Structure 1
Amino acid sequence: MRIVIVRHADAGDREAFAKLGKPDSLRPLSTIGKRQMRSAGRGLVALVPECARIYSSPYRRARQTADILATLWGIEIEECDELEPDKPVSQFPDLLAAGNSSETICIVGHEPHLGSLATWLLSGEEREGFAFRKGGACLIRFWEKPGAATGTLKWMMGPKELARLK
């Protein structure tokens, strides 16, 4: 199994959005973020041409990022509460266990949650480790069922590097 982990693209200023009196879960991608993700997404799809499923945080900015990728890959999205930023990464193996060992799946979410997930999959440690740029991604390969310290990092790129691949 291969897992592509993607951080949502730019969503503007958190504090400015909070002043509108709306919850952070509703903060959308900015115009720059949408453009950034379309460009990075084309590069990501050139690098990973097939993906079976996308799991997305239910937060608007992550879902919008996932929508862009789903359109490029021509696949569906499944929203997962496990990808909300405050959830423990150790909940994830149950979700990943349902996948086929030969397929690629994509996970779209938030920092520092995604960095902690990548660190856990690679080292078994539940702590912040990797730092994903907005619109950035990595690919982790598994030769057995995904879980703590079972993955191998194949690559990690920011959105500018991904955009150059298209």
Structure 2
Amino acid sequence: MDLILWRHAEAHDAEPGQDDMERALTPKGQKQARRMADWLTSQLPDSCRILVSPALRTLQTVEPLKRKFKIVHDLAPGADPEDVLMAANWPNGREPVLVVGHQPTLGQVAALLLSGQPQDWQIKKANAWWLVQREALDPYSLYLKGVMAPDLIVK
């Protein structure tokens, strides 16, 4: 199973009294989202399921991908890494899953899968980490296929 973790692009800081869920992308974040969406479009199979946090910044991040996606409330800021894995049906899913979410949760998911330990790994804004587990029952078949940053994408 392929699991792609895509952290939302750069967002504005919360204004006084503003709900964190309503933070929008900055112009830089919009550019990051477009660049990463272009790269993901060229890499993701058509069968990929896309799961997105309900936060505005994640919705704006996935929008340039121009694919159907499902909003999953268990991916909201502060989500538990286990909830992310359950939503993705890891490692038993048949199709690749792209999760668009937040820190520290996505870094915790990557750390848990790759090291077996709950740790706070950093996934930078707008970056995507692509993990693959060839056999659902064989944790030794897990590997990190790639990490991509929007500033590495050549147009």
Pick the TM interval, shorter chain: 0.7 to 0.9
1:154 paired residue number? 145
Partner of 1:6: 6
Is the alpha carbon distance of 1:87 and 1:150 closer, same or farther for their aligned partners in structure 2, counting shifts above 3 Å?
A: farther
Structure 2 residue aligned with 1:18: 15
When normalised by structure 2's length, the TM-score is 0.86
Structure 2 stretches lacking a partner, 5+ long = none
Q: Deviations over 1:85-125 (max 9, x none)?
A: 21211223332228642x22200011111101111122221
Asked whether the equivalents of residues 53 and 77 of structure 1 are also in contact (C-alpha less than 8 Å), the reply is yes
Partner residue, 1:118: 110
Task: Quote the Cα distance in structure 2 between the aligned partners of 1:147 and 1:113.
Answer: 24
* In structure 2, distance between residues paired with 1:77 and 1:136: 19
Q: 1:65 aligns with which of 61, 64, 68?
A: 61
What's the C-alpha RMSD, in Å, of the aligned pairs? 2.4
* Runs (4+) off by over 4 Å: 146-150
| TM-score normalised over the length of structure 1 | 0.81
Question: Would the aligned equivalents of 2:37 and 2:62 in 1 still touch at CA under 8 Å?
Answer: no
Per-residue CA distance 1:44-67 (angstroms, 9 max, x = gap)? 222335452110111110111122
Whether contact under 8 Å (1:10, 1:32) holds in the other structure is yes
1:120 touches 1:149 (CA, 8 Å); kept in 2? no
Match of 1:29 in 2: 25
The answer (yes or no) to whether the contact 2:75–2:83 under 8 Å persists in 1 is no
Percent sequence identity over aligned pairs = 29
In 1, distance between residues paired with 2:24 and 2:138? Answer: 31
Matched residue SS, 1:4: strand
The 1:111–1:83 alpha-carbon spacing in structure 2 relative to 1, beyond 3 Å, is: same
* CA distance in structure 2 between the aligned counterparts of 1:146 and 1:86, rounded to whole angstroms: 28
Aligned length: 154
